[in-house]
Structure 1
């Protein structure tokens, strides 16, 4: 496929194929899936990929260059991250690529691709899946000097190729974001890797077969989904090298939802989780016919509109009440506390990210003591499930880390440097 270069309206370089086409960010967690089924056979998955052109590069735009390690350190510092692993300057691109939506229909998505400067031509990719955001701009390719993009930059500045999907409906992707849908998070992540591999030679790089996979919060389960797909051979080139998820809600139905009602999570976070859960799940499953069945007045008439990709985290905070009792009807509370029907079925898929496979690559699970958004029992449940499948996945407790008065957010900051170092150790002969 021929790719031409042109100049964007902001002065950056845009590479386009002939095909054309906020405050809440990352603080919310819940790492799940709503509609995914068991991974298809590898040959069938590859055939679907080839038939639908998944991973085909639509466009690539050069966003910015941080020419020196000092410039990278300043960028990371602005986002509240450390600079102890920085060795290179970096250059960042936004890729737009072909993928499929939650129903398997063709669509497009975007993501951030960051490369180290003055490094070797062959690079190992690190795929990073970000945490929850409410606005389309709460995604790696849309924000710089920000919490949501800092981890990708950190990995690239250490010498890897940083690859970060924005997810469906986020960034430059059309439509609504199917939040907590591990199935589409997985396909968007895998197809972003394919797009990155297609683009890399145009800037003198080649991506190696092994992919190091990590993700935070919502992205922790997305990372496990991608790892599962890579190990299953759903791509003919890429293979799973290691897994390092951070602070996920791996047992969403068994741990995270009960924690909302048992006072183990931050109260306002619980309200936002409950609202997002009902709205996002109902878009893919027949959970309710009318918002009034699960949301109390006056929120029944407004809450769905808050999750349309155009509202900021601050607007969500202002548009929702302070407690679950104010948000939910009696039926809504009962359904979240004791899921049945389509919701229960969806949660079984959500909770399978640690239970239905046995990673053959090294795995570490990262968490923070006293996490106020992702109950730490999620990590213990994941570790126990993997152990039952014969996998020893050590838990790395980062301690009582803090970022903007949040230990949940602090876990991503602390884990990033630790994971960069671990991935580097695994690369040593």
Structure 2
């Protein structure tokens, strides 16, 4: 751990309920007030070089000394501030607060290049999402004795959208014993693009993903994977004019989601050249190799802890086939991972976002039941 900063205190359950309500989340599981901290900690970048990252730690007030950690991995954001430790009473921080207010230690990495972390964010890079998540847990364990607490060994792991794959990556690392203390207790990912190359990319090209979301994800995929894997020689190979000279800059961590929406066209065909479209439809070379790693989160291991996969009916961003593929892959490994279909839930008109809200209270309750067993 490099530093710890107290961000805010919600001293009573009523204050927590108001905070969750302002973000559009339920308050039926609130039992404690909470205190929130931003931790800055040492970790490694995608190439294994030393760097730092930040994250949100939320602890229950007047609770037991021994706390079980719940690691929450957040969904996609474009601005550095679209991360748990940078926003209060918001979509990205509410799940962390909800778990803490039920008596757990809520732990949420901002990811590399987000929050107070330097550099650019390596989006959908499972390796660095895993190390950032695991090192955030280690930083939390180092810090909580200052508050009179200790963290138990078992970690409950959850995450939404991008964070669903990150949650699987962290869980795989915990089960493999990559930390000497922490162990995997349970896993509850929500609305992930688990089969990113095989299911999600084809879906955004053929119109199964909501068009504007498809444009943003197509752009983010090419820009983010280019930075790590050198998949094209110049932007003009994959992006049509005028976007070939503007799109990469939109993903610099300083542009808001609104700016991203304004700076991209309405359809994938307006954004991509024929080569760009073909690269996403039939990845080859470095992109294909990278996607094999991204898509392995459900296929190359068998969780020994309880698993539930959460999704919303008709998700317009992370198509439901991702969850079906993940469940089938785990089943082939001998793992029964039931799918919890949350129905046609919505948040600001989005079922994808609605699934995070609806799943949070359900997962808080399930993790609580497991803790009591």
Q: TM-score under structure 2 normalisation?
A: 1.00
Partner SS state of residue 60, structure 1? strand
SS at match of 1:333: helix
2:191 pairs with one of 239, 247, 250: 247
In structure 2, C-alpha distance between the alignment counterparts of 1:260 and 1:400, rounded to whole Å: 20
Picking from 180, 188, 191, the partner of 2:124 is: 180
Distance 1:117 1:262 in 2: 49
Report which stretch shifted further, 335-344 or 182-191.
Answer: 335-344
Shift of 1:289: 1.0
C-alpha displacement of 1:181: 0.2
Task: Determine the structure 2 residue equivalent to 1:148.
Answer: 92
C-alpha distance in 2 between matches for 1:79 and 1:240: 29
Q: Alpha-carbon deviations, 1:75-120, whole Å to 9, x = none? A: 0000000001000000000000000000000000000000000100
Displacement of 1:263: 1.2
Q: Which of 113, 120, 142 pairs up with 1:169?
A: 113
The structural deviation recorded for 1:193 is 0.1
Root-mean-square deviation (CA), in Å? 0.4
Counterpart CA distance in 2 for 1:367 and 1:389 is 21
Structure 1: how far apart are the matches of 2:205 and 2:168? 27
Other-structure match for 2:147: 203
Aligned residues: 373
Deviation above 3 Å: which 4+ runs of structure 1? none
Of 201, 209, 224 in structure 1, the residue corresponding to residue 168 of structure 2 is 224
In structure 1, runs of 5+ residues without a counterpart are: 1-56
The superposition leaves residues 201-259 of structure 1 with CA deviations (integer Å, 9 ceiling, x where unpaired) of 01111000000000000000000000000000000000000000000000011110110
- 1:337 and 2:284 matched: no
- What secondary structure does 2:54 align onto? strand
- 1: CA distance, partners of 2:281 / 2:179: 38
* TM-score, reference length from structure 1: 0.87
Q: Counterparts of 1:9-408 in structure 2 under 5 Å?
A: 57-408=1-352
Cα distance in 2 between the residues matched to 1:210 and 1:373: 32
Work out the CA distance in 2 between the residues paired with 1:212 and 1:406: 27
Counterpart CA distance in 2 for 1:125 and 1:427 is: 11
More relative contact order in 1 or in 2 (CA 8 Å, sep 6+)?
Answer: 1
Return the alpha-carbon distance in structure 2 between the equivalents of residues 270 and 58 of structure 1: 38
- Aligned match of 1:414: 358
